[in-house]
Chains A and B, each alone.
Chain A
């Protein structure tokens, strides 16, 4: 039987090629929520808004158009796990609504076998969970509540620019807090909760000292707030917090040890999957202290 909720599943680069644990966790939790993830065969880099869009907007737009065209060929809206990909895809959908822009980009796409029509939209995982699936349906899948203190990091491009986002708010955004608390956890307030992780805009690749300094400030605030883990909904933020935490400790002589979980990994634990199934043994900062706190181990 066909699943109730079907989406074109956009993977991007970092998830399949660096953090496949997030891909694995998401593929396992989706069927429990009656979600079918339909592959976007041959999808490329979104391309990244902080780098490729910074270098040449027209190239960025043409490549995002090709990705959107793949979803149109599936006949299904896009589900995306990364805030960066989300930023690119939602801006692409928006920019390509303009018939003149679409005609110009379709000229570039000529010869690729794809054309863009403007028939699908892009949804972030958070939007799919909160608006399409709904809190009640998610709650029904929970068999093992997670009692832990979590620092939520929302990430910039989930919310901004707000004029082409579905939320209606930028500050006091509580959707991720609600999704985390639904699992039995507590969302703990901390200083600079809304601040950027520092990875975007090409900083993590080319201006690493500034990038890590931003993450360091967040680690300090989370440590002071005595959290058991950090929960995010963007793999690029995730990479910055997990891999970057090791780098921060090396660069600044600190010893932050905050386990970093992507939301679907936390959801999977609550649905009864094992830490190994959620790929928690693949992390750079040990997740063991968090698991111990909730009565599990890798």
Chain B
């Protein structure tokens, strides 16, 4: 019997050899000590019911499979519960690594429309979950509370401060926010 061994050839041009180093510089200093034991995957409550494999995401990132890992929808089924970080025998902050990769994914334009919606609300009101229907104010009054809480909702100047921060960090550009031209969908 003859058979052919198919080797997967890694195309060098698709490899981002800087990615692992960037993660180290961002504070994930132990990421390279990963031994691929899979404890993270085993600890993951999302991985138990989805195709998400934490170990695989970390491996792909370390190998520099940038496009593959950043475009992977599984990056977004982590609840950030932190169990992987607690149990990692190499003391890698796995959850922070996932958050770092999510940041890069957003820079590449991989963002769920619902998440963009939450961001638009933050920019426009200072709350990711604002009072956007008077029924919530009525409910507050029913409970003997002020119709608006003493948060950004009561201080228009505070909303301006949030918008000032967002312009400075470029978050508005990151989510492609255009004043007055957002559907406000969440």
Contact = CB atoms under 8 A, between A and B. Distances in A.
A109 B103 contact: no
Interface stretch (A56-64, A72-80, A137-145, A247-255): A56-64
Given A200-B79, A201-B80, A42 B151 contact: yes
Contact of A53 (B99, B152, B155): B99
B49 A213 contact: yes
Given A13-B129, A62-B168, A112-B161, A156 B79 contact: yes
Interface string B141-155: 011110001111111
Interface in A22-52: 23-24, 27, 39-45, 47-52
A69 to B, nearest CB: 10
B169 A108 contact: yes
Given A20-B145, A55-B102, A57-B103, A207 B164 contact: no
Contacts of B119: 51-52, 55
A55 B115 contact: yes
Contacts, number: 205
B45 A196 contact: yes
A53 B96 CA distance: 10
Interface residues on B, range: 35 or more
Given A42-B154, A52-B122, A210-B46, A282 B79 contact: no
A206 B73 CA distance: 11
Contact of B151 (A43, A62, A207, A210): A43
Contact of B82 (A113, A160, A206, A282): A160
A17 B166 contact: no
B45 A198 contact: yes
Interface string B81-108: 1110110000001010001101100100
Contacts of A108: 165, 168-169
Contact of B80 (A58, A195, A200): A200
A66 interface: yes
B184 interface: no
Interface string B45-64: 11001100000000000000
A156 B80 contact: yes
Interface in A171-205: 195-196, 198-203, 205
Interface in A257-295: 279, 282
A20 B131 CA distance: 11
Given A17-B129, A48-B128, A199-B79, A66 B115 contact: no
B130 interface: yes
Nearest to B113: A206
Given A52-B119, A170-B86, A207-B77, A23 B145 contact: yes
